[in-house]
Amino acid sequence: MPTTESVRDDGVRMITVSRATAELELRRGEFALAVHLGIVRVDARQPGGRAGVHREEIDRLRSEDGFPEALQERVRTVGTADGARLLGISPVRFSRLARAGCVTPVAFYLNRYRAVVWLYLAQELGGVAARSPELMVGNSPPWMRSRLDAGTDCRARNWRSLRTERLLALTEDPWARAAVVGGALDPVQLAEVVDDPYERAYLGRVRPVPLFGQGGSAAGREAMAQLMLADEPDEILWRRVTLGMELDSARELRAAPRPGEERCPGAAGESGPSAEPAVPVGSVGQVRASGSEEASAERLEPGAQGDGTQGDGEQEGGEGGGAAGLLARFRLRRTPRRRSPRRTASGPGKPFATGARTRHSFHHADQGSHR
């Protein structure tokens, strides 16, 4: 069915996301990545709740030199094999650089073995080689060797930080910003910081959602949900502190609605599934990448941890930079402070397991992907 243009009441011409993708000669995953990186600006406040793109934005991108090859190159992703060829190093060395946090993945997909294959921006890899040529040749520096010997794998954490940072940059509504930060906490941690159930429900409603809907396979969506959760104590603490500050700003603007109350005017994210100005990058089969998939897959270490180097900048300062009382307010606890009526409704002696963290069974791999 052909997609038609939509015209806003103020006379500004808008076109749908699907038509914008076709006119920019991008694939769905490439368009999602372009929005995520801020290359394409999307208006999520169209009447009817559907996201749209200004006609002027499409004309601007199409008028740039080298279109469409130049635009496609800006969102081209590569796996380990092709990334290593771009840098002139071996795939083993590239994998070590990625695990140590020297390069940050921007997307992932699941291969036939349900292994997570990380993808990297081709243009950014050239910048890494220019900034740190000493990492491309010779022995690895001591800090990298010690980090890798300890089983550190920064890929998931750095991808999570980059994605959260971009979503916050593209999100203006304070409640939606709080929802983005809260998305990195499991239900138990979230309930400890946001003890009001109406506020938690409101965060779920205003959380940004993909432009193209919840596409991909069930395994891909499950992998996305698990990879989005902070899994190290220092990262969890930082997310809790950040969420508390975002909540304070949101509460000053407006209170979360209660049952029977009208929705707050201007609340972002409640108009429909396409209200998010940026989309989650990482769904299965959404991003074009070069290279070939290899049969072997490497497993992400269960106890792996990243220190935030190269791409996890917002983690820095999680140990300090605030009053002791603020950190104590969001201190980590192994068990919830209180039990809600729902937790005890099943009767005494029956364990409550809802929201408990489980270790994911997905294997992680660095290999390149199919086109």
Q: pLDDT digits over 318-358, tens only? A: 333 444 444 444 455 444 444 444 444 444 444 434 444 44
What does the pLDDT read at residue 308?
36
Distance, CA of 167 to CA of 303 (rounded, Å): 27
In 3D space, the residue among 228, 215, 225 whose CA is nearest the CA of residue 284 turns out to be 215
Work out the angle at residue 208's Cα, subtended by the Cα atoms of residues 205 and 212, and round it to the nearest 5 degrees: 115
The model's pTM is 0.70
- Cβ atoms of 132 and 74 within 8 Å: the answer is no
In 3D space, the residue among 233, 265, 246, 266 whose CA is nearest the CA of residue 199 turns out to be 246
Q: Where are the domains of the chain?
A: 6-74, 157-365
Q: pLDDT digits over 188-201, tens only? A: 999 999 999 999 99
User: Is residue 157 scored above 80 in pLDDT?
Assistant: yes
| Strand extents, DSSP E, 63-132 | 77-78, 107-110, 115-121
